[in-house]
Structure 1
Amino acid sequence: MNITNLNIAVVGAGYAGAAAAKALSNLGAQVTVYEQASQIREVGAGIGLRPSSMHQFNTRGSGEAIKAVSSPSDAFEILTADGRRIAREEWPEKDTFSETTRFIHRGDFIEALVGVLPQGMVKLGHKLEKIEDGGSTATLHFAGGRTATADLVVGADGIKSVVREQLFSDRQPVFAGEHAYRAVIDAEGTYDMVADGNLRMYIGHGTKVYLLPLLHRGQVSFDITALNPDSTWAPTVTKDDILRTVEGFDQRLVEMTRALDMDTLNSRAVYDIDPIDVWHSDSVVLIGDAAHAMCHHQGQGANSAVLDAGALADALATADSVRAALASFQAIRKPITDELQRISRNGWTDDEVSDVFPGQKPGQIAAMASTSTTTAPTKED
């Protein structure tokens, strides 16, 4: 299908939206990205971009921009809380794609993705309030009375997707029963624990500690994920609260926790969504977290968004119609992301879960939370 005359509106300028905009504009489509924020920025810490994602960037013109602000990694290690190695593996797909995983700060990632888009493609300050699906077209209604009609709307508006809630599923995000505490710290304060550039995860006592090197920045992304029954979206915690989560861990990790600057710490309750049955109509499609937000244990959220973007572009380039392309896209991507959502929810042992949620088993926390009235607030909160 020739999509050079196709008018495409992308809702959201995050990983999924920016990657999709690049892939679709490469095909000649007329793409506009609508972002609710008044400026492009991303808080948080580091993420890993897998070889398959880097392959997507290389083939669609973003690879050099990503590599300029990221660090390569050869392998990852899983260790016990006190530092005994459980496993060491090279990154999967290295040979397939002739690439390795690269680590990047979330802010740098967004800037690189948006930076390769044509000037003027991203429209800031457009908060979506309503979407009307007209069959062959769809109309977006933004705060302030502005509207836009497109042949195809790509809903890339995250875990609290307006597009998903109004057209495909009104089920709310599900609390995963855990908190994530994230900070970017100077590499000098990490005792050379990741000087080789490789990811390490320490696990035990209901806590996972991730050390993700950002060596091109002279920094390390420090992530503590701990079981916790508090479902507040942005929980208030003290240094002592966080120190309790790393009791019994390698003393170097304890000291790194003790040295954290609480003013720069990002604290979040962890949420995902239940798999939804349908991602598309004839003129609207969901991608990224809007379609399949997942817990971060497998490190697949951003990577899945990138692969969604590429798969959507490929489907539109090869199908006979938009309708057929969207059906093909869902058929290819949904089985994969359904499985990633499932395994990402099951990140804890029986004993770890029962310490915090008496009587529960791994995989039951989300099910328990989904029957409550707890939901995640809007993106601005």
Structure 2
Amino acid sequence: MRLKEKKISKLKVVIIGGGIGGAATAVALKNQGIHADLYEQAPVIKEVGAGIGMRPPTVKFFKDWGIYNEIERKSEKSSFMQILTSTGEVLINEEWPLLTNNPEDRWARLIHRADLIDIFFNQLPSESIHLNHKCDSIIDYGDHAEIHFDNGNSVVADLVIAADGIRSTVRSKLFSNVEPVYSHTHAYRAVVEEKETFNLAPDNTFKVFVDGETGNHVYFMPLHHRKQVSFDVTVSSADASWRPEVEKKDILQCLENFDSKIQKIAEKIDNYTCRSIYDIDPLERWHSDCITLLGDAAHAMLHHQGQGANSAIQDGGVLAESIRDAATIPEALQIYQARRKPITDKYQELSRRPPKVEAKTAFPEKSVFETP
């Protein structure tokens, strides 16, 4: 159906998944005058995760959507990233790469994941948010789709946007049965009070401590507006359990070669979020004529380049623009994939390169994406 024959404002759009990608897409569509109903499997939206770095191409969308001022209030501007040895010797102190045509855009904005999702949800009408809805099955009729949820409810939509994560039901049923790929690493994450970090984060520099012997990492992201620091321990592990059960003593053992201050920080943390780290190999296709994948459902990547959340948000912005500019939904989805897939394919590859003590740059993406 041609969009000019059916006004954009009348489109029935369903987003499956209320994480960063799904929520950002709902805001992007609203900015184009498109109402979307968002269906999330969790019973409540609660504070989860830790810090993430928002890059200038992502922040541009925040400005377009009229939410930048709130983002600015709840984030910190970081100009540098450091790679350090496990004992704190600085190996690389590097400006963030230039990813836009503005030479001033060598920065990232550091924000807590929960604050970002709150900002998105605060832009959406409450009646458009449907919790406790886990997608059970989906039927593609060509020009529309029917979604069934495990609570017995079902909906029909002109366009379905599947932002349902790395273990996407929509992807497995319609596009690819590709299995997530285990990276043989775990991430143990927490947010700690700034006053308990022994002044290891005096400014807004994002730091990665690397143990050259074991390959273990500690990511240290200041969130000064919260008076907190995001603390992420990434270690090698043969345990592929999705949510491994790890005791504090095991985490401390992984940090034996690290600065005593880092060990003391880890010792004080009572609650870690423990995850095995997976990604997927690039897909050949993300969409049909009325259904598309977005974010991790389309291109899950490892966290080493910090591009997972950025990519999902940019997906949402580009998808909304593609719908605005296209004559039909199928055309819009083709434009969306053509614009986004080459970029996310490359970031999926780059994300498999963890920081190393012998690295020449903190940003392997510079050789591909940095604007001359």
Q: What is the match of residue 242 of structure 2?
A: 233
2:123 is the alignment partner of 1:107: no
Once residues 92 and 35 of structure 2 are traced to their aligned partners in structure 1, the CA distance between those partners, rounded to angstroms, is 47
**RMSD of aligned Cα (Å):** 1.8
Residue of structure 2 aligned with 1:35, choices 35, 40, 52:
40
Is structure 2 residue 154 aligned with structure 1 residue 147? yes
Contact residue 174 and residue 271 of structure 1 kept, 8 A: yes
Q: Which residue type is aligned with residue 246 of structure 1? A: L
Give 1:329 shift: 0.8
1:267 equivalent in structure 2: 274
Contact 1:47 1:299 in 2 (8 A): yes
Contact 1:74 / 1:198 at 8 angstroms: preserved in 2?
A: yes
Counting only pairs closer than 5 Å after superposition, residues 182-331 of structure 1 correspond to structure 2 as 182-204=189-211, 205-261=214-270, 264-331=271-338
Does the Cα contact within 8 Å between 2:210 and 2:357 map onto a contact in 1?
no
CA distance in 1, matches of 2:357, 2:267: 29
Residue in structure 1 matched with residue 370 of structure 2 by the alignment: none
**What secondary structure does 1:202 align onto?**
strand
Mapped to 1, the partners of 2:263 and 2:131 lie a distance apart of 41
**Shift of the alpha carbon at 1:95?**
6.8
Contact 2:300–2:348 (CA under 8 A) maintained in structure 1: yes
Where structure 2 has 5 or more consecutive residues not aligned to the other structure, the ranges are 359-372
Distance 1:93 1:348, change over 3 A: closer
Structure 1 position 125, deviation (Å): 1.6
CA shift, 1:65, in A, is 2.6
> Conserved in 2, the CA contact under 8 Å of 1:179 and 1:227?
yes
One-letter code of the match for 2:148? H
- The corresponding residue for 2:366 is none
Count of matched residue positions in the alignment of Structure 1 and Structure 2? 349
Distance change >3 Å, CA 350–CA 273, structure 1 → 2: farther
* Structure 1 unpaired stretches of 5+: 352-381
Asked if the contact 1:41/1:110 (under 8 Å) is kept, the reply is no
- What SS does the aligned partner of 1:347 have? coil
Q: Residue 114 of structure 2: SS of its match in structure 1?
A: helix
Give CA-to-partner distance per residue, 1:184-217, whole Å, 9 cap, x none. 1111111211111111001122201111011011
Alpha-carbon distance between aligned partners in 2 of 1:254 and 1:96, rounded to the nearest angstrom: 41
- C-alpha distance after superposition, 1:307-366 (max 9, x if no partner): 101111111111221111111111111111111111212327699xxxxxxxxxxxxxxx
Deviation, 1:4, is 2.2
Residue 225 of structure 1 aligns with an amino acid whose one-letter code is T
Question: 2:250, 2:151 → 1: CA distance?
Answer: 42
Q: In structure 2, what is the equivalent of residue 365 of structure 1? A: none
Structure 2 partner of 1:21: 26
Share of identical aligned residues, percent? Answer: 44
Does the aligned pair in 1 maintain the 2:88–2:209 contact within 8 Å?
Answer: yes
Contact preservation (8 Å) 2:218, 2:232: yes
Tell whether the 8 Å contact from 1:315 to 1:329 is kept in structure 2 after alignment: yes
Structure 1 letter corresponding to 2:139:
E
Q: Is 1:86 equivalent to 2:91 in the alignment?
A: yes
Aligned partners of 2:84 and 2:357 also within 8 Å: no
1:333 — aligned with what?
A: 340
- Whether the 8 Å contact between 1:42 and 1:107 is mirrored in structure 2 is yes
- Contact 1:165 1:171 survives alignment (8 Å): yes
2:148 aligned with 1:131: no
Shift of 1:94: 7.5
Counterpart-to-counterpart distance in 2, 1:45 and 1:30: 30
Quick one: distance in 2 between partners of 1:44 and 1:144?
27
Do the aligned partners of residues 71 and 196 (structure 1) sit closer, same or farther apart at CA in structure 2, a change above 3 Å counting?
A: same
* Equivalent in 329, 332, 353 of residue 346 of structure 1: 353
